[in-house]
Structure 1
Amino acid sequence: MTGSDQRLSLDTRAARGLATTTKTPPQAREITPRWLLRMLPWVGVAAGTYRVNRRLTYPVGGGRVSFFTTGARLQVILPSLTELPLLHGLAGGEELDLLARAFRQREYGPGDTIARAGRPADEILLVARGKVAQLQPAGYGGHLARGTLADGDHAGGGLPGATWEFTLETRTPCTVLALPREELDALTARSPALRAQVERHRARLARPRNTLGEAAVAIAAGHRGEHPLPGTFVDYDPGPREYPMSLSQTVLRVHSRVADLYNQPMDQTEEQLRLTVEALRESQEHELVNNRDFGLLHNVDPRQRIYTRTGPPGPDDLDELLCRRKKSRFFLAHPQAIAAFHRQCSAGGVYLESVELHGARLTAWRGVPLLPCDKIPVTRQGTSTILVLRTGEDDQGVVGLRPAAVPDEREPGLSVRFTGIDPHGIASYLVSAYYSAAVLVPDALGALEHAEVAR
């Protein structure tokens, strides 16, 4: 051994035989801040089902029509035609088929005018592709943009005497399906079922209601003397929506040998349960956003869905979301959507404020924080949705639902139940999380849809 190779002290590799290591608990990349679970007010449901009672609202349709494509031709999916106010409640498949075949496909370029305000509304229009702006003459010249139609939205009622309330002007290349009133009248004359449906629609329009579509409450105001007072009552929705508990479940298996012998310095069973509970909570937030029954993305009222003015989400778009409801508590958006909003603000020279929430600094717009949520999807086209919520039962907002109590509860709404040890010495634990969400009134939840986030 040469002098340069001779060691003067114990080698570190040899020393490790007498030493241990400082370990971290198991880490998981899946774990996110889960802002939605933290910010939703949770209601304890004692009976397993939560019923939302509302005032009677007259059904007027207002949803979106769906389409299927055959080459370059677009056709209406028959059941979705009942989303038109005129056809809401029509059950006849033959009548719907005749109406669907009567629509005529039209193509428009950007900046084309489809209809003008004040002209007779002598057709029903379905926007299959593209964006159409609703314009209204302004008091000092020019036009006011009052809304946007896209993706199955419709315009025109098809009834005699109606006029266009707005000028419809395309913002992108558009495909529109049109049903002229002459065609509708001809089909109505041949079909008793369709004729009865039109009469029911006219009767619905004649019922007294407030501006939100609820059955009106007759009130006298500003009168003098002994004016006869109106009699009234508040009618309730005869079919209130009920929300049953949904759940995420799994069975955790831990071998008894592992739990007995390898429990230092960390409890193996406890670490397994911790990571399993984290995965269940991630699944719970995903379901609260995306579930087709109670998920927030699928429960936005059609009148609370808006579109961006230029593509990426900008200050004007978020202002439009805020002005449609009172007491907005927070925005919920994919991190890419928040970054796209930052870029728009930077390009326009708009300074963004920030707020502190649960120890974190977050971007805010008009004092309303923008919370990141990677459970909101980004489409292949690079678009996403930004949600805004009013929350809490007292404010008729959005609430989270969970059981008031469950057996073997580990966390609120989550239970860990030991189910025994099998002949192989493996202990099993049933881990269950129960939850749902409810929108108490339609304007509690709004969405900015098809916001470009990848530009």
Structure 2
Amino acid sequence: MIESSNPQTLSIQSARQLTTTTKSAPQMASITPRWLLKLLPWVQVRAGTYRVNERKVVVRPEERLYFSHTNTKSNGNGKLKLEPEQLSKLKIFSGLLPDQLTSITGMFMTKHYAIDSVLFSEGEAGDTFFLIADGKVEVNQAGPHGEKLVLNVLSSGDHFGEMALLENKPRMATVVALMPTTVFVMERTKFLKLTEELPSIQENLEHTLSERKQQNLRHNEAGEARSFLERDYEGVRTIPSSFIEYEENPREYPLSIIQSILKVPTRIADIYNEPFNQIEEQMRLMIEELKETQEWEMINNPNFGLLSQVAPTMRIQPRKGSPTPDDMDQMLSLVWKKPAFFLAHPKAIAAFGRECTRRGVPPPTINLMGSPVITWRGVPIIPTDKLLIGDGHNKQPLGTTNILLMRVGEKEQGVVGLHQSGIHNEKSPSLNVEFNGISPDAHKNYLLTLYFSCAVLTSDALAVMENVQVRHYYDY
């Protein structure tokens, strides 16, 4: 049958030319709920700086040593080389001169341990100092009934056994490699020989240890300067005088800044402005981008981000890689004073869910601001994609991430957000938009500025579980 070339009715394509379409506002897949910004209490800051006044801390925990391409170098045999400046971060070596540190560094050897290898056992003679370059170890001890008591899990940058360099005492615990582990070790015999050649090293070490013992008498469990109180009222006694000493150089948090200039051609703003206002839509998406960056900075910024503010004593490692209920309980034992919420990547939450399913203890779910959120021990586990997963290109080990737990609020001496609202041309708290004129190439320019920061008021308000593996699955 031959089709007629003459149309018998109006075509759909032609008819559509006389109609209008319904359009959506511009969508942006990178917009997230930004739970951290919503759940943190925000403190109003004046003059752009927040000062944390606190009780004087006499003893601070030792810094962790971070091994990266900038502070570990390869020698001719392809082995890691320990740099002298790293040792200066350890209290036992903190009083030594650069040339003394160089001499001590040369005494370290590199050793490798396979998984489940025993580095040393409880009761053995202590004669070696260990510094973990890469890997993870478990420190355990025999209990009163013969059971194994896990004292700690240590990883890259941690150290143990330093007193074996000075004292010939038996080991108080057993250390086992939980994964292939590389350590720097120094033997006591070599160290003693070095101190005989360079007596000044021994003198500096003795002075450092003497100071540590004096400090231990002057601080409480939090490392703060101790005050003296009378507790026994039997008989007549002289009540001691005391006071609370403050930090002479308190921490200060200046507000950080994120800025961008939005450029919109005047022709677009004048003509292509229906049904959506082009400037308003561009502004809306730019503000979303600024706030996504704000949350990323509040977690990852090397100066004030939450990850950089976690105290060494508040950092833990998952024993087996994946986050287990036991690991989450350990975090809660650190931030036990009114914990507010966990913060984790969605894949870390999924990994924790798999561990709970494996054990038959599914975590309860609550409704938070219209969204289902799982909890552990009643504490919400809030998702965020700003806690990065190692992909081989960032500093995070491949396939791992971090989980944060925090107490929040100024009254609770917790984590707080910082901003300065009420600024000129404010679009939202601490964010302003200034019209910056029309450029010679006919563009309207708008300067967007966001001021913010965050502070951890006391060290026990924030904990992190590091190197959490998110790629482990079970075959059921």
TM-score by length of 1: 0.93
User: Residue 447 of structure 1 aligns with which residue?
Assistant: 464
User: Residue 108 of structure 1 aligns with which residue?
Assistant: 113
User: Residue 220 of structure 1 aligns with which residue?
Assistant: 230
Instruction: Determine helix, strand or coil for the equivalent of 1:83.
Output: coil
**Distance (Å, rounded) in 2 between the aligned partners of 1:239 and 1:195:** 30
Kept after mapping to 2: 8 A contact 1:134/1:166: yes
Deviation at 1:34, TM superposition (A): 1.0
Instruction: Determine helix, strand or coil for the equivalent of 2:176.
Output: strand
Listed one character per residue, the Cα deviations across residues 306-329 of structure 1 (whole Å, up to 9, x for unaligned) are 111211111111111111112111
Distance of aligned partners of 1:116 and 1:60 in 2 relative to their CA distance in 1, 3 Å threshold:
farther
**Distance (Å, rounded) in 1 between the aligned partners of 2:298 and 2:282:** 25
Once the two structures are overlaid, the 10-residue window that deviates more, 330-339 or 219-228, is 219-228
**Distance (Å, rounded) in 1 between the aligned partners of 2:428 and 2:52:** 26
Q: Summarize the alignment of residues 4-403 of structure 1 with structure 2, pairs less than 5 Å apart.
A: 10-67=10-67, 68-70=72-74, 71-88=77-94, 90=95, 92-117=97-122, 121-158=126-163, 159-160=166-167, 164-188=171-195, 190=198, 192=200, 195-207=203-215, 208-325=218-335, 326-380=337-391, 381-403=398-420
**Distance (Å, rounded) in 1 between the aligned partners of 2:275 and 2:266:** 17
Letter in 2 for 1:335: P
**Distance (Å, rounded) in 2 between the aligned partners of 1:20 and 1:407:** 41
Deviation at 1:92, TM superposition (A): 2.6
Listed one character per residue, the Cα deviations across residues 249-306 of structure 1 (whole Å, up to 9, x for unaligned) are 1100112221122222111100000000001111111111111111112221111111
**Distance (Å, rounded) in 2 between the aligned partners of 1:342 and 1:7:** 62
**Distance (Å, rounded) in 2 between the aligned partners of 1:317 and 1:346:** 15
**Distance (Å, rounded) in 2 between the aligned partners of 1:318 and 1:133:** 17
Deviation at 1:152, TM superposition (A): 1.1
Once the two structures are overlaid, the 10-residue window that deviates more, 431-440 or 269-278, is 431-440
Distance of aligned partners of 1:378 and 1:268 in 2 relative to their CA distance in 1, 3 Å threshold:
same
The RMSD of aligned alpha carbons is 2.2
Letter in 2 for 1:150: S
TM-score by length of 2: 0.89
**Distance (Å, rounded) in 2 between the aligned partners of 1:119 and 1:21:** 81
Deviation at 1:3, TM superposition (A): 8.3
Deviation at 1:75, TM superposition (A): 2.2
Q: Which runs of 5+ in 1 are unaligned?
A: none
Instruction: Determine helix, strand or coil for the equivalent of 1:308.
Output: coil
Deviation at 1:197, TM superposition (A): 4.9
Letter in 2 for 1:22: T
Deviation at 1:17, TM superposition (A): 2.3
User: Residue 445 of structure 2 aligns with which residue?
Assistant: 428
Kept after mapping to 1: 8 A contact 2:258/2:449: yes
Instruction: Determine helix, strand or coil for the equivalent of 1:219.
Output: coil
Kept after mapping to 2: 8 A contact 1:65/1:126: no
Deviation at 1:33, TM superposition (A): 1.1
User: Residue 395 of structure 2 aligns with which residue?
Assistant: none
Deviation at 1:247, TM superposition (A): 1.4
**Distance (Å, rounded) in 2 between the aligned partners of 1:217 and 1:6:** 102
Distance of aligned partners of 1:56 and 1:442 in 2 relative to their CA distance in 1, 3 Å threshold:
same
Distance of aligned partners of 1:405 and 1:165 in 2 relative to their CA distance in 1, 3 Å threshold:
farther
Listed one character per residue, the Cα deviations across residues 339-383 of structure 1 (whole Å, up to 9, x for unaligned) are 111111111111210111111111111111111111111113211
